[in-house]
């Protein structure tokens, strides 16, 4: 069996962080008197860079930094823990690690917050490197995070990305890395397929089987 470098997205892939992110995003929109859509519509906040999604929902460019501060004031103390690992994820990571694969996290979530979440759920120990975004604008896209990860690891042979949105697919594709999409997250399956996902895993058990090939 070929040992792989497997890159995992965090929100919507490893943990179900929707409740906390949606609650904090709603607070940021309300801060500027903007309408707060229903939770189902707000699901798009999970995964993509926060700055872009806030502007999509009406936050003006000149107000984006303030909106992000409002979001993070609640998220770093409360929202970050309105979260839980998806069933079967811990077992999946343990099996992959036992097989000798190199496991990484590549998330557009700020790296400090990603570390807090993974430490809180005792998942950090499965990963060789946890790479995330910076709090400034220097590294806030999936492609940028993967570039940063590659700088630390050198060439990653037999690499594959695992994520739940089209942003994961296109970000990995910028580095020639194929993506397996997961159906349990917050992105749309049809969007991941259209972006070029090589397969869609319905469950963590299904993902394990796909990663054997």
Q: Which residues are catalytic?
A: 9
CA torsion sign for 119, 122, 127, 133 is: negative
Spatial separation of the C-alpha atoms in residues 172 and 26, rounded to whole Å: 29
CA-wise closest residue to 173 among 195, 153, 157: 195
Burial of 209 (0-12, 13-18, 19+ CB in 10 A): exposed
SS3 23: helix
Structure letter (DSSP) for residue 86 = P
181 neighbors 173 (Cβ within 8 angstroms)? no
Instruction: Strand 5-8: give its sheet, edge to edge.
Output: 129-133, 102-110, 5-8, 159-163, 179-182, 199-201
């Amino acid at each position: 069996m070929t040992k792989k470098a497997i890159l995992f997205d965090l929100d919507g892939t490893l943990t179900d962080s929707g409740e906390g992110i949606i609650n904090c995003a709603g607070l940021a929109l309300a801060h500027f008197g903007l309408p707060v859509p229903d939770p189902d519509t707000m699901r798009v906040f999970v995964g993509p860079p926060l700055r872009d999604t806030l502007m999509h929902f009406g936050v003006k460019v000149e107000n984006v930094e303030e909106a992000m501060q409002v979001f993070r004031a609640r998220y770093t103390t409360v929202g970050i823990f309105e979260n839980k690992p998806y069933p079967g994820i811990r077992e999946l990571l343990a099996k992959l690690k036992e097989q000798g694969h190199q496991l990484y996290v590549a998330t557009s979530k700020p790296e400090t917050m990603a570390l807090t979440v993974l430490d809180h759920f005792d998942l950090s120990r499965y990963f060789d490197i946890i790479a995330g975004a910076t709090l400034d604008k220097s590294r806030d896209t999936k492609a940028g995070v993967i570039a940063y990860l590659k700088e630390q690891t050198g060439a990653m042979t037999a690499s594959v990305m695992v994520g739940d949105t089209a942003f994961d697919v296109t970000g990995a594709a910028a580095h020639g890395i194929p993506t397996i999409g997961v159906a349990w997250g917050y992105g749309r399956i049809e969007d991941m397929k259209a972006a070029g996902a090589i397969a869609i895993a319905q469950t963590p058990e299904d993902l394990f089987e796909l990663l054997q090939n």
